Structure 1
Amino acid sequence: MLIIAIGSRGDVQPAAVLAGAATRAGTPSSVLAVEEYGPLVRSHGAGFIGIEGRIDDSLGLAKNRLTRPLAHLLVTQGWMLQRWMKRLAPAIADATLRALEDHDSVLTSSLTVSLGPAIEATGRRVGTLLFSGQLPTAHRESHYFGHFYSPWDWLNRPGIDLSWETIERLSRPVTAILGPSLAGQAGHRLSPRNALDLPAIIAASPILVPPAPDWPASARQSGTIVDDETAPLPDDLEEFLADGDAVYVGFGSMGHGLEARDLDLIREAAMRSGTRIVTPALGGWAPGRIDELTFATGPVPHSSLLPRMSGIVHHGGAGTTFAALRSGVPSVAAPFGVDQPYHAARIHSLGVGPASVRMSRLTARRLAGLLDDLTSGVYDDRAAEIGRQCRAEDGVGSTLDALEELGFLQGGTG
């Protein structure tokens, strides 16, 4: 089985976990992703097919101080992703064509959905693997753009259809290159079938993404694919935590470009609220204690770190959101864009944390307010309850079951 996982770490890590689990279950599986994620994928026991490219390149305007405000606009984010995918299209098409020689079943992802019908025409089994509420639905709580919905269904439908059309459009430059070669394999001209006709697996917890009754009949919701890796925390971080409670503040690989000024914002928020903070050592920061209230940590598994925190502030990515919910600790998101505002709203709806603040509006004063809210005790009981529910789920096992039901794992073929 081949999983085409073009995107950020949040797209690649669950694909790697799933591919490794499928391999151990008897179906040798590989992940196709940008080269920088090779060590991550291989660490889970999956095969890896790399393409040249950097996820940082997709951020474009978000990394530039002058153009950063524009990057918070939804239309700009779509343009940045489209430009990045167009630049990578030849490499993705070439790697996919080579990988198909060794794989008879394929899962595309949100940035490659339009490849599905073209690959299926060659006789391979094809499906779509999604990690959030991206399938069209009239139910706002189940769709990642639900915050744009109006009270009138007839008015929402064009926007719902457009959101899926936009997703498909992102990978059409790849399909335009790959299609003629696949048409030759299929022995006929490829028909313009919609990716919605193919099986879809929504690998997202129903706690985070409530199931929608009008999802396509071919859709299966499994659960969030969790990396259960644990590791001891570094000694100096353990010493920092021994001195008192701390809140985790981190904004992920697709955040807003962490730099020195962002660390200044975090440090000022810590001083304003008197809250101790653990934050990732990104943007050239050296791991270790920065001051009495702030610690910058190197890479550590969420499953080891987050349950030790008294609160969590994150960017709202699907995987991080579920990891925070699963920890049983109050949390809140400062979303940048795409599906992150949806997850941020769901966190608040679940009652495990305060209302979110958009990344573009996050100041030291507002962050300090979030820190105070998280550590007030108001959300502790509800967060603990949701954490127990999340930990009872087996997203990996449920996703493997769905794949077996759909025929992707039958006979252990890859």
Structure 2
Amino acid sequence: MPTIVITTIGTLGDHLPYVELGKYLQRRGHQVRMAINEAMMPLAIRAGLATVLCGVRMGEQEAQQNARDWNHWDSSLYQAQILGWQTYLKRETPLAFKQLLEACVDADLLICGYQRQSLGALIGQKTGIAWIATSLMPAIHNYLSETNLVTQAFERTLNEIAEELGLQPRWEIPKNHAILASSPHFSSVNPINAFYQQTGFWFYEEQDWQTWQADSALQHFLNRFHSPLLLSFSSLPLQDARSVLALHVRAAAKLGCGLLVQRGWADFNVSLLPDDCDPDAVFFTDFIPHDWLFSRISAIIHHGGIGTLARAIRNNCPMLVEPYGNDQFFNAKQVLVHEIGAVAHPQKVTVEGLVRLLTQKVLTESCRHNVRQLGEKIRAENGLERASQFIEAVHERHEKHER
């Protein structure tokens, strides 16, 4: 069986689906090697996957130090953010290229996440290895054109890096080697990106989640507040977590709801609670298996990350999305298209606005009906199986060509 290298970069949501893909491929008999940064290695190691270092460290602490880079509402930061990412590319890409090149020495196939597709093109050009372009983000493949200031700036930087590495700046994606790990029931790809094969979402799982049980404190909270709201921004760092928390605590209080709060990379914690709230009506927690949790809440308030959103749909959970940047804006739009929740501007919404949206758009029978209908379609898919079959077919075609 072939040796497959999987590489990705970003936050937790950019890694967990690829760890699950690695586990799935390994169970099918393949040798899998995860080329990821140091902060994400424990995820792969815990899953029983081989790991090699690739790229600079990017974990919770690093994200929190640069929280403004995740906030795309402030146009005054736009140019500074572009310059910051160009500087990051110049520092990170040559290092990651060298490390990934070593990881692929005896490999048969390279699978690259969206932010690693430029490396896939360079490694493929350098070694001739077959590589597959993948993406978790349906937003990227719905734009009719990616010609904008950001992509132009990044492409100029990548061209310079390629030339410094002695390679041609060619960034073409192999047209029959591309996977979009999203459901066509959530969104379709535009004609320009029609060569991406939609497999359905890749859901990360851990074996002990099936038997997970709440501790006595959480169970007591759930007994007191039946079907509370959940506030979870996952691995999104925030510049002002105190104000964000206060807004949602006060809205939940007006609704007479309990509020479960996942700490996440925003580092929500009891010390940030406003003085005018009932601390017993708010419960802070680290990670709880989402399948268990989402079946016990009335709705989730989140940032619009595709992983959280897809898991909520799969569990018939209505949602309020407060997007901050990147693909979160498109994902929020799709929530409105499917009428499975509501969307709020995170820096403009008020307590009264949150209460109104939740009451009129989210905590309604029609919203619950719509998300159940979409959830049924999502649950019928097996994205990891379809992706694995596609990956194996690519390898077989490449082997035949090489002969």
Q: Distance in 2 between matches of 1:165 and 1:68?
A: 15
Asked whether the 8 Å contact 2:19–2:204 carries over to 1, the reply is no
Match for residue 307 of structure 2 among 316, 319, 322: 319
Asked whether the 8 Å contact 1:318–1:343 carries over to 2, the reply is yes
Q: String of CA shifts for 1:54-77, please: whole Å, max 9, x gaps.
A: 24535665359xx99637966665
1:126 equivalenced with 2:112 (yes/no) = no
Q: Tell me how far 1:43 sits from its aligned partner.
A: 2.2
Asked whether the 8 Å contact 1:273–1:369 carries over to 2, the reply is no
Match for residue 247 of structure 2 among 246, 265, 282: 265
Residue equivalent to 1:196: 173
Residue equivalent to 2:205: 228
Long gaps (5+) in structure 1: 137-142, 146-156, 181-189
Match for residue 366 of structure 2 among 375, 378, 381: 378
1:400 equivalenced with 2:388 (yes/no) = yes
Q: Tell me how far 1:394 sits from its aligned partner.
A: 0.9
The residue type equivalent to 1:48 in the other structure is T
Asked whether the 8 Å contact 1:205–1:222 carries over to 2, the reply is yes
Q: String of CA shifts for 1:315-362, please: whole Å, max 9, x gaps.
A: 1111111011111021121101110010011011111112x1122324
Q: For structure 1, which segment, 19-28 or 369-378, has the greater mean C-alpha deviation from structure 2 after superposition?
A: 369-378
Residue equivalent to 1:256: 238
Q: String of CA shifts for 1:271-317, please: whole Å, max 9, x gaps.
A: 22222211112426269x97232111111122221122111111111
Q: Distance in 2 between matches of 1:409 and 1:250?
A: 43
1:360 equivalenced with 2:347 (yes/no) = yes
1:19 equivalenced with 2:22 (yes/no) = yes
Q: Distance in 2 between matches of 1:268 and 1:261?
A: 11
Q: Tell me how far 1:113 sits from its aligned partner.
A: 1.5
- Secondary structure (helix, strand or coil) at the match of 1:401 reads helix
The residue correspondences of 1:272-283 to structure 2 (distance < 5 A) are: 272-282=254-264, 283=267
The residue type equivalent to 1:272 in the other structure is K
Q: Tell me how far 1:25 sits from its aligned partner.
A: 0.9
Residue equivalent to 2:356: 369
Identity of matched residues, %: 23
Q: For structure 1, which segment, 344-353 or 195-204, has the greater mean C-alpha deviation from structure 2 after superposition?
A: 195-204
* Shift in CA distance, 388/216, structure 1 to aligned 2, threshold 3 Å: closer
Match for residue 5 of structure 1 among 4, 8, 19: 8
Residue equivalent to 2:101: 97
Q: Distance in 2 between matches of 1:200 and 1:375?
A: 38
Q: Tell me how far 1:209 sits from its aligned partner.
A: 2.4
Q: Distance in 1 between matches of 2:382 and 2:105?
A: 32
Residue equivalent to 2:35: 32
Residue equivalent to 1:110: 114
The residue type equivalent to 2:42 in the other structure is P
The residue type equivalent to 2:103 in the other structure is A
The residue type equivalent to 1:212 in the other structure is N
1:338 equivalenced with 2:314 (yes/no) = no
Long gaps (5+) in structure 2: none
The residue type equivalent to 2:366 in the other structure is V
Q: Distance in 1 between matches of 2:397 and 2:50?
A: 16
Asked whether the 8 Å contact 2:72–2:324 carries over to 1, the reply is no
Q: Distance in 2 between matches of 1:72 and 1:386?
A: 38
Using the size of structure 2 for normalisation, the TM-score is 0.83
Residue equivalent to 1:209: 187
The residue type equivalent to 1:201 in the other structure is I
Q: Tell me how far 1:131 sits from its aligned partner.
A: 0.7
Match for residue 84 of structure 1 among 63, 83, 88: 88
RMSD value, Cα: 3.2
Asked whether the 8 Å contact 1:93–1:177 carries over to 2, the reply is no
Residue-pair matches, total? 378
Q: Distance in 1 between matches of 2:358 and 2:172?
A: 42
Q: Tell me how far 1:238 sits from its aligned partner.
A: 2.0
Asked whether the 8 Å contact 1:97–1:178 carries over to 2, the reply is no
Q: Distance in 2 between matches of 1:19 and 1:297?
A: 28
Q: For structure 1, which segment, 171-180 or 11-20, has the greater mean C-alpha deviation from structure 2 after superposition?
A: 171-180
Asked whether the 8 Å contact 1:70–1:76 carries over to 2, the reply is no
The residue type equivalent to 2:341 in the other structure is G
1:176 equivalenced with 2:162 (yes/no) = yes
Q: Distance in 2 between matches of 1:68 and 1:120?
A: 33
* Shift in CA distance, 347/135, structure 1 to aligned 2, threshold 3 Å: closer
Higher relative contact order (CA 8 A, sep 6+): 1
- Secondary structure (helix, strand or coil) at the match of 2:188 reads coil
Q: Tell me how far 1:405 sits from its aligned partner.
A: 2.0
* Shift in CA distance, 277/80, structure 1 to aligned 2, threshold 3 Å: farther
Q: Distance in 2 between matches of 1:72 and 1:324?
A: 33
Q: Distance in 1 between matches of 2:45 and 2:75?
A: 33
